[in-house]
Amino acid sequence: MLDQATLDDLLVSGGGNGEVYDVNLVVRLIRLFVHYNDKMSLHKMKKVGELIDMYLVEIGPDPNLKISKFVGVAQSLPDFARDSFDQVYRAIDIYLQSHPALSLEERSRLCRCLNYEKLSLETCKDLADNPRIPPRIAVQALGYQHSTTQTMEFVNDDDSSSLSSRSKGANNGNDYQLVLYKGNGDQSKSGTLCSPEEMKVNLERMQWRVVELEKVCREMQGHVARMVKLAPQHNRPLPRLC
């Protein structure tokens, strides 16, 4: 069964199609496993989720791996199979580094494999600062993270006097702290606190980045249009920049 397999078990040679590993075989195995297990065995499903995330990281550097196959592996498991999507993001970033010529739409397609609500704060910050991630995706991820902070559990000072004293010092008298999702489900060990104001600043910064990039894109389109008017007619059209 797939839940008893190791990473080495999945690393089967691609067999002459240019790809390092036989990804189609793994996708078929995952689909069979999901079909016969579904929600009846949550522990097994999460165990396979961890295995497949490691597999994604392993196959990401393959320059011949088609985006459809990478996405097929990433989306072959139901959402509840993962407590965190941090490893999926890591695999996507590795794939992007190995495929620098991907279009904006292709990069956006990759990022749609992510569940932003299951990204840790640190991963979300890294995503927002990653130049390989489309700006709109970064804004969406920060938006989800910001909305998550509005619904997080508030820790009252009656639960812990020491927590209360730190909270009052940091929040000017408010008797709570925000416990942020760290991706592993263990809030008590997160150790990272963030206010809604900080998330709002990050979100506004990313929105400004999108506006600036769209402005540059419009200027480039105008420049290309002028070039078309001035240049002699050719059968081959100019490349599309945006």
Is the per-residue pLDDT at 86 higher than 80? yes
Return the higher-pLDDT residue of 26 and 217: 26
What confidence score (pLDDT) does residue 148 get?
62
Q: Does residue 66 lie within any of the structural domains? A: yes
Contacts of residue 148, defined as CB under 8 A and 6 or more positions apart, other chains included, come to 117, 180, 181
Query: 121-129 and 86-98 helices cross at what angle (nearest 10)?
Result: 20
What confidence score (pLDDT) does residue 238 get?
47
Q: Does residue 18 lie within any of the structural domains? A: yes
Q: Does residue 206 lie within any of the structural domains? A: no
Q: pLDDT per residue over 114-155, tens digit each?
A: 999 999 989 999 999 999 999 999 998 888 776 665 555 444
The residue-averaged pLDDT of 54-79 equals: 96
If one counts the domains in the chain, the total is 1
What confidence score (pLDDT) does residue 197 get?
67
H-run or E-run covering 218: helix 196-230
The residue-averaged pLDDT of 227-232 equals: 58
The residue-averaged pLDDT of 100-105 equals: 96
Q: Does residue 105 lie within any of the structural domains? A: yes
Helices (H), 83-120: 86-98, 104-111
H-run or E-run covering 214: helix 196-230
Average pLDDT of every residue of the chain: 77
pLDDT band at 36; cut points 50, 70, 90? confident
Is the per-residue pLDDT at 22 higher than 70? yes
Contacts of residue 114, defined as CB under 8 A and 6 or more positions apart, other chains included, come to 85, 88, 89, 92, 141
Q: Please, are residues 51 and 87 in contact by the beta-carbon 8 Å criterion? A: no
Tell me the CA distances in angstroms from 4 to 25, 50, 58, 217, 238, one per residue in order.
17, 12, 18, 50, 53
What confidence score (pLDDT) does residue 182 get?
40
**DSSP state, 118?**
G
Provide the residue range defining the domain that includes 99: 1-114
Cα radius of gyration (the chain): 22
Is the per-residue pLDDT at 78 higher than 70? yes
Q: Does residue 208 lie within any of the structural domains? A: no
Residue at token pair 């902070």: 149
What confidence score (pLDDT) does residue 112 get?
95
**DSSP state, 100?**
T
Q: Does residue 65 lie within any of the structural domains? A: yes
Q: Does residue 28 lie within any of the structural domains? A: yes
Is the per-residue pLDDT at 65 higher than 80? yes
Is the per-residue pLDDT at 216 higher than 70? no
Return the higher-pLDDT residue of 17 and 56: 56
Q: How many CB atoms lie within 10 A of CB 44?
A: 16
Q: Does residue 99 lie within any of the structural domains? A: yes
